[in-house]
Amino acid sequence: MTTKPEILDAGLAALRHGEPLTLDAVARRAGLTKPGVVHHFPTKAALAVAVVDRLVDRWIADLESRAGETSSTPQDRLRAYVDFALTADLDPSDLALLSDVRLCDRLVRQWTDRLHPWFGEELTSSPRGRAALHAVRLIADGAWFDRALGIVDLDEDERTRIIDVAHRLVDEAVAA
């Protein structure tokens, strides 16, 4: 019997391969009938919310492994987000929060509510330091988006240099 996590993984696989996140597409990927998916997720909206949660769970597990699960500081978490955005294996499924225009506001809220601690927003600094923290966030967000779409292909040296620049900006902002 196909489990809920397997159905959600089928949803991510559909997105990864350029398919829409529909009950039919997920059923095909999971080897189920549409009623088999509807048994677990009665609507497309319920499916989309659960798929985004599944993806965020994976992101958080990876981020925690990078930052240290229990003792991480806000700057450690922001650095982990930068590292993740520039080095993780990303694909179109990492943009699941954009999978349905009609649900976009809800999915974006869900995404940011859960990932908020990783974006450095709780760090305080001078106006110049805040600008540096925003720049770091934009570097990471841009890397995540571009890499998930396959737009940017950086070699390891370029990635390392960008990570170093972003980490330096975090350090400077925290010291300011």
Q: Residue 128's pLDDT is what?
A: 93
Mean pLDDT, rounded, for 64-86: 90
Stronger pLDDT, 46 or 2, i.e. the higher one: 46
List the domain boundaries for the chain: 4-175
Mean pLDDT, rounded, for 83-103: 96
Q: How far apart are CA 162 and CA 17, in angstroms?
A: 29
Q: Residue 176's pLDDT is what?
A: 78
Domain 4-175 has CATH 1.10.357.10: yes
The answer to whether residues 162 and 139 touch, using CB atoms and an 8 Å cutoff, is yes
Mean pLDDT of the chain: 95
Q: 60-73, pLDDT tens digit by residue?
A: 999 999 998 666 89
Q: Residue 68's pLDDT is what?
A: 82
